[in-house]
Amino acid sequence: MEQPNNYSWNIPQRQSLAAIVIILLQMVVRLIKSLWPILIVYFIRKQKDDEGISFLWIIFGFSVITVLMTILKYWFYKFHIYNDNLIIQSGWLKKKTLTLPLESIQAVHLEQNIWQQLLKVASVKLDSSGSEKVEIKIDAISVSKAEDLKQLLLSRHQALPENADVVTHPVNRFLKLSMRDLLKISLSANHLEAFFILFVLGLNLLNDVNKIFNIDGWKVIGDYAVKVEGQTILAITIIILLVAIVSVLISMIRTVIKYYNFRLEDTIQGWKIFTGLITRQQLIVPYNKIQILSWKANWLRRKLDFWIIQVQSIGYESLKSKQHINIPVIQMEHAVILSQRYQQTPLFKFIDGSMIEPDIWKRKLLFITVPITLILLLIFYFIAGLMTLWILLLFPIMSWYYYTWYLNFRWMCNEEGIQMYSGVWGRKYTLLTWKKIQQVELKQSFYQRSHSLASLTFYTAGGKVELLYIPYNNAIQITNHILFFVESRNESWM
């Protein structure tokens, strides 16, 4: 890896001039998202005369203001490093100074969307401890400068010399997805998510059509259904198939865009991840920042031996799902090897794991399955009469689901932490080390107290892990062990 270029980071400086274009494009996109119904109405109207000219002047005025705001935002945005703090200054009417201690920086990510690639710049995103979102984002600086800033921030955070190269051993290119692997992961993706996205977009479109054109979309659909009468079932079937096909295609395209050219490099800093087709991302996952590590696969991916590693670092639960770090691996063996960076104890075998108590699935059957079945039965009975008796099938289906989940759940404690295995159709492995636990909560309901049972909740800076319905004595032993471990070892959770 190239040595840092030793830019003068202690001097306040602006972003690249390309930042003006990037900021302007961001503002234009936001304006279009807000004003697109008005723009559609204007362009489809037949009479434009004087009102049209006025409207164009309004658009022109908005454009001029947007450009001026962009230039002002660029000019008054400065950043530099002073006394081991990253300082960001912004604002022209309302001045704002943000100070971020370098020691609190958890990760530095580089990102390039299609415009940034064309302009040969990159954005720098910083994650810090205690934040609920990405605190700082520098929109556009040159790629070499972004790399230099990333290395400097990470080296300072690790208490290394300022001009030291963070990577002090050869890079191990551990993982790389081929086009065949990319096809596997796209075909086995969660297509239901894309289906529901389409469904919501369809509802929003009907609502927008009603507002803009004063057309009742539901009435149009109803009238069409009356016309086709005998072919209703065929029409519904065709629509469902079309939506399903489109959902699968959208899901596959999203997956390919996200994981295109994915590779993972093993460095002394942590896992260095490169991914993305339209927006290229370079992510760093420091090993000591991982709070909870898990990997999972749905039914199809299990058959293909394809797993997704989920990294829960500091502030994980407050991040948007698209900001979560997921690592695709093409073999279970790869997931196990990577997990040793977090917990070196070998993964336990299924037959050696401890089961939870069967009371849990019986209680779910009594307090979840029975009420849901009865409520739905009563609601739909007044609508469709005896035809709703098929809802009773929910009872055996949900019963089977909870019982299978109980049978498949296994857990085991070791010197480093706890390991869990669960799933019904798919499977999930979860690892948690003792030193990452900030708080452990032992809970007992009235039923659990009477049956000497308890549930444990382990809280970390990256989320929580639950171990439900285990013997009370075991819960006490685990709680005492965690408290003793934390008090005696005095190890950092970061």
Q: CA angle, corner 244, sides to 241 and 245, nearest 5?
A: 85
- Report how far residue 280's alpha carbon sits from residue 404's, in angstroms, rounded to the nearest whole number: 41
User: What span, in angstroms and rounded, lies between the C-alpha atoms of 353 and 178?
Assistant: 35
pLDDT digits (tens, 9 = 90+) for 352-379: 999 999 999 999 999 999 999 888 888 8
- Higher per-residue confidence, 269 vs 447: 447
Residue-wise pLDDT for 141-198, tens only, equals 999 899 888 888 877 655 443 333 334 444 566 788 888 899 888 888 877 777 777 7
- The pair of three-digit structure tokens given for residue 142, joined into one six-digit string: 């040159």
AA letter at 470: I
pLDDT, position 159:
45
Beta-strand (E) ranges in 78-200?
A: 78-82, 85-90, 96-101, 105-112, 121-128, 136-142, 172-176
Distance CA 311, CA 328 (A): 11
- Whether residue 417 contacts residue 430, with contact meaning beta carbons closer than 8 Å, is answered with no
Residue 272 · residue 283 · CB < 8 Å: yes
Q: 114 near 123, Cβ under 8 Å?
A: no
In angstroms, the Cα distances linking 315 to 19, 106, 252, 312, 403 are 28, 10, 29, 8, 33
Share of the chain above pLDDT 90, in %: 37
**Residues 6 or more apart from 191 whose CB is under 8 A from it?**
244, 247, 248, 251
Residues 6+ apart with CB under 8 A from 462: 290, 291, 292, 312, 313, 314, 315, 316, 317, 436
Q: Put the strands of the sheet holding 85-90 in their side by side order.
A: 78-82, 85-90, 96-101
* Res 213: pLDDT: 59
C-alpha 85/C-alpha 109 separation (Å) is 18
Strand ranges for 213-352 from DSSP E: 263-266, 270-275, 280-286, 290-297, 307-313, 325-329
Cα 284 from Cα 154, distance rounded (Å):
10
The dihedral over CA atoms of 194, 198, 199, 203, expressed in degrees to the nearest 10, equals 150
For the chain, the average pLDDT equals: 82
* Residue 22, burial from CB neighbour count under 10 angstroms (0-12, 13-18, 19+): buried
Residue bearing tokens 């299990």: 302
Among 161, 119, 168, CA closest to 267: 168
As given in the structure block, the two tokens for residue 141 are 């600086």
H or E stretch at 234: helix 232-259
The larger pLDDT score, comparing residue 172 to residue 408, is at: 408
192 compared with 422, residue with greater pLDDT = 422
**How far from 116 is each of 19, 78, 122, 153, 156, CA to CA, in Å?**
9, 19, 6, 22, 27
pLDDT at residue 53, rounded to an integer: 61
For residues 113 and 123, what is the distance between their CA atoms, to the nearest angstrom? 9
Entry pTM: 0.79
Q: Which residue has the higher pLDDT, 344 or 235?
A: 344
Cβ atoms of 127 and 105 within 8 Å: the answer is yes
Q: What angle do CA 147, 153, 159 make, to 5 degrees?
A: 130
List, for residues 123-138, the tens digit of each pLDDT value.
998 877 655 554 678 9
Residue 206 C-alpha from the chain's centroid: 29
Q: Is the pLDDT of residue 443 over 90?
A: yes
What number of other Cβ atoms are within 10 A of residue 367's Cβ? 10
φ/ψ of 250, rounded to 5, equals -65, -45
Angle of helix 217-228 relative to helix 191-213, nearest 10 degrees, comes to 110
CB half-sphere exposure, 29, CA atoms < 13 A: 6
Structure confidence at residue 387 (pLDDT): 66
Rounded alpha-carbon distances, angstroms, from residue 141 to 3, 115, 122, 147: 18, 13, 6, 10
Contacts (Cβ under 8 Å, ≥6 apart) of 215: 209
Token code pair at residue 412: 């085991």
pLDDT in tens, 257-314: 999 999 998 887 789 999 998 888 988 888 888 999 999 999 999 999 999 999 998 7
The DSSP-derived string for 174-231 is EEE--HHHHHHHHHTS-HHHHHHHHHHHHHHHHHHHHHHH---HHHHHHHHHHHHGGG
Closest-CA residue to 80 (of 102, 57, 104, 107): 102
